[in-house]
Amino acid sequence: MLRRVLPRLAALALIAAAPLAARPAEAGYAGLYAFGDSLTDRGNLFIATGGAAPVPPYVAGQLSNGNTWVESFSQRLGTGPTAPSLLGGGVFAYALGRADTAPAPPPLPPAAGAQINLPGQVGAFLAAAGGTAPADALYAVWAGSNDMLQTLADASLIADPVARALFINNAIATSVSSLIGQMQALEAAGAEHFLVLNLPDLGKIPRLNGDPMSSAAGTGIAAAFNAALANGLAAFDALPGVRVFGVDTFALINRAVAAPAAFGLTNVTDACLEGGPVNYTTTIPANLVCTPAQLTTSLFFDDLHPSAATHVLIANAALAAVPAPGAAGLLLVALGGLVVVRRRAAAGA
């Protein structure tokens, strides 16, 4: 039985802002595999482009000023340091990656393009794993932002409002269906434990937050995507043996914008980096406009991507959402603005 227990925002602020201790490895998962886009990529795009992008001041081939959330999360979860899949690691996420099967951007090498979107990432993982997904590992999925940003750009060219709304709805359905489909592929191969992060409020990113109409469109499409994702996950979570843990990044970003001091932030609207990648394979001069101290208290690094400080907040929320795999039946699903608790039978669930 699903049981709503409390509104999420105040609790989320405390969870995300507070540092969490590492979890003993013996109580944790045997491995962590992560899929998605630049919000998770630990360097696959950098390797695939021969180091062409992203370049400094982006750090270590990641689209931020430090590690993406999955590194801190994995270290404290007890699954150790992470590495991009092109170096033999478990992070299959690619910057520019989409949840659906749209073609990879032309500048990427064909070999990289075959893996850049979520279906390609999952296919690459299953091929490397011999078609088997270990049941004692955790599978993290965070995708859809690139799909929705491109959808907004394409929809802006459609004059008729009815046709525009239909186009957006179809794009959301396609992306969510693809995302759930890849989770089903992992489950069919043996995966049982999933961590899913919903879309952040795209209306709050510096690329869109300066224009009220663009901001509203970004917020609206992210909220609609998240609602469709929550519905899809509810059905997926009902499969025997499956456990889905969620992180509500939409609520997290909004809480940080509304009460930055609670998260140790002072700048929640402006990018610290002006300029940057063009198609992520060539660059224009990038101007870092924040001091090192200001970087530690800024929500965003560039006009789209979170700062390293924000990635730590996301890791905190993710760690709080994931119980040890042997924990008897209390599952925290933090999607849709509520904390939802499901109790399962200890065996055969």
User: In 3D, which of 342, 334, 344, 296 has the Cα closest to residue 11?
Assistant: 334
Q: For residue 336, what pLDDT is reported? A: 47
Tokens of 150: 């491109």
The torsion region of residue 335 among left (phi > 0), alpha (psi -120 to 50) and beta comes to: beta
Give the chain's length: 349
At 255 the pLDDT is: 98
List of domains in the chain: 2-343 (3.40.50.1110)
Burial group, residue 269, by CB count within 10 angstroms (0-12, 13-18, 19+): middle
pLDDT of residue 342: 36
Residue segments in the chain with a per-residue pLDDT below the cut of 70: 1-27, 104-114, 276-285, 324-349
**Measured on CA atoms in the order 269, 270, 275, 277, is the torsion positive or negative?**
negative
Query: What is the structure's pLDDT at 114?
Result: 66
pLDDT value, residue 319: 97
Distance CA 2, CA 344 (A): 10
Strands 277-278 and 282-283: antiparallel
Q: 208 — alpha (psi -120 to 50), left (phi > 0) or beta?
A: alpha
Distances (CA, A) of 47 to 44, 167, 283, 347: 5, 34, 16, 43
